[in-house]
């Protein structure tokens, strides 16, 4: 009986190792399957510059920066993108803001990470200064296993540059990656965990840099998890319905930004 604890310990260790190896193999297989999926691409004919709202209303320059969300990958019409739907909400206005003539543009690039924002900020500040910038970034940082603090640091620098140029900034943090159906469990749960870590780091960096934060994961994740129709055919990028959910989540902060003096 003296050797029983040792045998149990060895057996437990062997089981744990086998479980770990099996789990790692499962995750590796799911990662390969996720990479092999056919994902939506930017629509080449999609205009990234338009105007909405009464021509006689006060003008508002709204620019989007970030990854595929900023250019509406997953939909074919500008009106269905998060930028188009957000611009329509801003143009319609609220009792406090009134209607606005929104001049919408985007300098986002599909597949971008936070380190790519410096170039986008430079492009956004060319010509007439935007009044409000909306940044949507973080998904690719999280899924490529970037250090959250490092990625958030790049985001914070982008917010500071825009704020120093007199631009109000609203950041939609990393969405709920656990709602993405392009990944199977347990990879989906792991992605959700990585996304939440990224969002927390982003929120701290943006607040310190003087921007406004909208936690897209917390505010819209439950809707995306419950309704498969919020995602386009690839199970990763939002559909028109998904972008509408994001636009409504972002709108209160953007409306407030339009009324905030610089």
Whether residue 51 lies in the annotated active site: no
Q: Are 170 and 206 in contact (CB under 8 A)?
A: no
Catalytic residue status for 237: yes
- What secondary structure does DSSP assign to 157-188, as a single string? HHHHHHHHTT-EEEEE----GGG-TTS-TTHH
Residue of 112, 141, 182, 237 marked catalytic: 237
In which region does residue 129 sit, left (phi positive, over 0), alpha (psi from -120 to 50) or beta (all else)? beta
Q: Would you call 68 a catalytic residue per the annotation?
A: yes
Q: 10 Å Cβ neighbour count for 148? A: 24
CA atoms of 82 and 205, how far apart (whole Å): 23
* 238, β-bridge pairs: 231
d(CA 117, CA 146): 15
Q: Which of 68, 105, 139, 239 is catalytic?
A: 68
- Residue 198 structure tokens: 């990224």
Q: Which residues pair with 231 in a beta bridge?
A: 238
Active-site residue, selected from the candidate residues 51, 234, 241, 248: 234
Q: What are 168's strand-pairing partners?
A: 132
Active site residues: 68, 234, 237
């Amino acid at each position: 009986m003296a050797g029983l604890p040792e045998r149990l310990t060895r057996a437990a260790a062997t089981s744990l190792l086998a479980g770990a190896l099996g789990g790692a193999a499962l995750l590796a297989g799911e990662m390969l399957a996720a990479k092999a999926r056919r994902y939506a691409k930017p629509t080449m004919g999609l205009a990234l510059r338009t105007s909405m709202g009464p021509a006689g209303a006060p003008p508002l320059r709204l620019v989007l920066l970030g990854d595929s969300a900023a250019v509406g990958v997953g939909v074919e019409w500008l009106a269905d993108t998060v930028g188009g739907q957000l611009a329509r909400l801003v143009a319609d206005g609220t009792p406090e803001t009134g209607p606005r003539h929104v001049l919408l543009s985007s300098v986002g690039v599909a597949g971008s990470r936070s380190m790519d924002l410096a170039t986008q900020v430079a492009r956004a500040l060319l010509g007439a200064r935007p009044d409000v910038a909306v940044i949507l970034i973080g998904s690719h940082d999280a899924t490529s296993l970037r250090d959250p603090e490092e990625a958030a640091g790049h985001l914070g620098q982008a917010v500071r540059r825009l704020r120093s140029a007199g631009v109000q900034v609203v950041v939609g943090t990393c969405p709920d990656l656990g709602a993405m159906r392009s990944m199977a469990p347990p990879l989906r749960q792991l992605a959700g965990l990585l996304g939440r870590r990224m969002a927390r780091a982003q929120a701290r960096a943006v607040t310190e840099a003087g921007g406004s934060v909208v936690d897209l994961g917390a505010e819209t994740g439950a809707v995306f998890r419950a309704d498969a129709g919020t995602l386009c055919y690839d199970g990763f990028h939002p559909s028109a319905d998904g972008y509408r959910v994001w636009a409504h989540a972002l709108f209160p902060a953007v409306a407030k930004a339009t009324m905030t003096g610089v």
